[in-house]
């Protein structure tokens, strides 16, 4: 397509694309926006080297276009919210302005990056919601979809987990790393207590012993207690034990009693084994004595969804707003350059968002309308409001301040705290209002009428 635009002499046409998704993942009430800083890095590195040019030449691309690509550098402008922001379906979360070729070339990179990280950050936030103030560790590298894990672990921490077992991402992004021993460690010694003892000797700090290799309550926990007592004599402390099979509610309660009876109230109980936000909630509801959860597959792959359905749609060409109808009514797009406005109620909680035209003045908007049913409307006059997006990339340079992952996670935490409990419910959450301005609705109606006229 980029070649087509080039050959058609349209390389200097200016366009506006919107990134938005149509459905919150996991049946939830909101989505955590993530991936922006990684996207910036990829945009800055987005070049066609001579190998790439040679390859495209062999695939039949025109030499004039390849000459253009040799000097290609993305110089468009991006508007977006901060990473960690709470966002909602159909909002033009990222807008990309630029010439039609650069804006087109960015599509796949942007979708690939933002869709995945936002999915995982949202999943992590659900785990955090279930776990309350208990620990949550990302343990998914073994089951991650290949190299997805590099960005997945970052997104998981943005969304609210404490640490990752993925040391590469911990290195790249300054995340907390954590891990425990595997069954193979235990099996590799002649017996369980020797395995525990040697581990405690070589790794006395943050020592967590895996207690289910042979029999959790008859062997694992009693042996861990022996080693914990031996550590105490040396002035060391066993950090925890890990349960990785069986009934985690039952075993954790029994293990807690055994540890407490041995005077080891400080030894934490960590649980893993196919956990997700529902199982964690259920374990807590059952009174399980679990201090921290290790979550693998469901977190790093965003099970049950696997993908955020984000799309990248053209909304304006050379000042001309455009629209897409398609055969599915829900796929109708919003025309023109737009921005997102957020309204707050008196308690500083999120009240509603509005999608309005970029040039609209907030002070002149007093009503927002349901996107499909215009008679459903909300009065927003007098409410505190702010534009949710700002210019984050321009002329090949990142304008947004670079933030540490933990800062982004703090922002996410604050924003989620501004949502009402009904929006955070897992099952059938209250649908957050995202309205349109009168001006945007009128523009859409005009374009629809124009298309009907043409037919």
Q: How far is the CB of 389 from its own copies (least distance, A)?
A: 21
Closest CB to its own copies among residues 15, 259: 15
Residue ranges in 172-191 that form contacts with its own copies under rule CB under 8 A: 177, 181-188, 191
Binding region for its own copies (CB under 8 A) out of 277-285, 306-314, 346-354, 366-374: 306-314
Q: How far is the CB of 164 from its own copies (least distance, A)?
A: 12
In degrees, to the nearest 5, what angle opens at C-alpha 236 toward C-alphas 230 and 241? 75
247 binds its own copies (CB under 8 A): yes
Taking Cα atoms as reference points, which of 399, 349, 434, 403 lies closest to residue 21? Answer: 434
R_g (Cα) of the chain, nearest Å: 26
Contacts of 91 (CB under 8 A, 6+ apart): 20, 340, 353, 355, 388, 434
Q: Which of 201, 230, 236, 407 binds its own copies (CB under 8 A)?
A: 201
Cβ(130)–Cβ(280) below 8 Å: yes
Task: Say how far apart CA 296 and CA 164 lie, in whole Å.
Answer: 10
Q: Is the peptide bond before 455 cis (omega within 30 degrees of 0)?
A: no
Q: How far is the CB of 214 from its own copies (least distance, A)?
A: 5
379 binds its own copies (CB under 8 A): no
Q: Which of 66, 150, 258, 284 binds its own copies (CB under 8 A)?
A: 150
β-bridge partners, 367: 379
CB-side neighbour CA atoms (13 Å) of 372: 5
Q: How far is the CB of 77 from its own copies (least distance, A)?
A: 17
Q: Which of 226, 284, 317, 439 binds its own copies (CB under 8 A)?
A: 317
Closest CB to its own copies among residues 202, 361: 202
Binding region for its own copies (CB under 8 A) out of 148-156, 253-261, 372-380, 413-421: 148-156
Tell me the helix, strand and coil percentages in the chain, rounded to 5: 40, 20, 40
216 binds its own copies (CB under 8 A): yes
Residue ranges in 392-411 that form contacts with its own copies under rule CB under 8 A: none
B/e letters for 341-353, b = 16+ CB within 10 Å, e = fewer, are bbbeeeeeebbbb
Q: How far is the CB of 95 from its own copies (least distance, A)?
A: 14
Taking Cα atoms as reference points, which of 305, 251, 253, 248 lies closest to residue 275? Answer: 248
Closest CB to its own copies among residues 201, 387: 201
Task: Say how far apart CA 433 and CA 438 lie, in whole Å.
Answer: 15
Closest CB to its own copies among residues 261, 450: 450
Residue ranges in 45-104 that form contacts with its own copies under rule CB under 8 A: 52, 55, 59-60, 100, 104
Structure tokens given for 323:
């629209």
Binding region for its own copies (CB under 8 A) out of 322-330, 373-381, 400-408, 409-417: 322-330
Binding region for its own copies (CB under 8 A) out of 87-95, 253-261, 296-304, 367-375: 296-304
Total residues binding its own copies (CB under 8 A):
93
122 binds its own copies (CB under 8 A): no
């Amino acid at each position: 397509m980029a070649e087509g635009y080039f050959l058609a002499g349209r390389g200097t046409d200016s366009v506006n694309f919107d990134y938005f998704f149509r459905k919150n993942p996991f049946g939830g009430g909101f989505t955590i926006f993530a991936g922006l800083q990684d996207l910036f890095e990829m945009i800055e590195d987005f070049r066609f080297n001579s190998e790439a040019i040679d390859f495209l030449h062999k695939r039949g691309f025109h030499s004039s276009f390849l000459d253009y690509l040799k000097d290609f550098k993305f110089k468009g402008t991006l508007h977006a919210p901060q990473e960690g922001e709470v966002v909602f379906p159909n909002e033009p979360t990222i807008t990309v302005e630029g010439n039609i070729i650069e804006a087109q070339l960015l599509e796949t990179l942007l979708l690939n990056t933002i869709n995945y990280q936002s999915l995982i950050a949202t999943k992590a936030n659900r785990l955090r919601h279930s776990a309350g103030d208990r620990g949550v560790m990302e343990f998914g590298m073994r089951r991650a979809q290949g190299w997805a894990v590099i960005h997945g672990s970052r997104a998981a921490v943005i969304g609210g987990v404490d640490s990752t077992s993925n040391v590469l991402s911990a290195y790249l992004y300054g995340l907390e790393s954590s891990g425990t021993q595997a069954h193979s460690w235990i099996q590799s010694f002649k017996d369980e207590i020797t395995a525990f003892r040697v581990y405690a000797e070589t790794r006395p700090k943050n020592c967590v012993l895996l207690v289910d290799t042979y029999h959790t309550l008859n062997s694992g926990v009693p042996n861990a207690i022996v080693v914990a007592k031996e550590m105490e004599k040396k002035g060391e402390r066993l950090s925890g034990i890990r349960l990785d099979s069986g009934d985690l509610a039952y075993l954790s309660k029994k293990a807690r009693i055994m540890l407490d009876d041995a005077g080891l109230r400080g030894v934490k109980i960590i649980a893993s084994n196919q956990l997700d936000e529902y199982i964690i909630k259920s374990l807590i509801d059952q009174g399980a004595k679990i201090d921290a959860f290790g979550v693998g597959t469901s977190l790093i792959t965003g099970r049950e969804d696997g993908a955020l359905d984000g799309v990248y749609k053209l909304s304006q060409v050379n000042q001309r707003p455009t629209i897409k109808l398609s055969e599915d009514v829900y796929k109708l797009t919003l025309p023109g350059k737009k921005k997102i406005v957020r309204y707050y109620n008196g308690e500083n909680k999120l009240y509603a968002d509005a999608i309005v035209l970029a040039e609209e003045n907030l002070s002149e908007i007093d009503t927002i309308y349901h996107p499909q049913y215009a008679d459903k409307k909300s009065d927003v006059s007098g409410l505190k409001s702010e534009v949710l997006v700002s210019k984050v990339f321009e002329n090949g340079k990142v304008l947004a301040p670079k933030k540490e992952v933990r800062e982004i996670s703090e922002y996410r935490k604050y924003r989620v705290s501004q949502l009402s409990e009904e929006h955070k419910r897992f099952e059938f959450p209250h649908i957050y209002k995202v309205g349109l301005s009168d001006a945007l609705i009128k523009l859409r109606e005009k374009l629809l009428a124009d298309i009907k006229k043409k037919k």
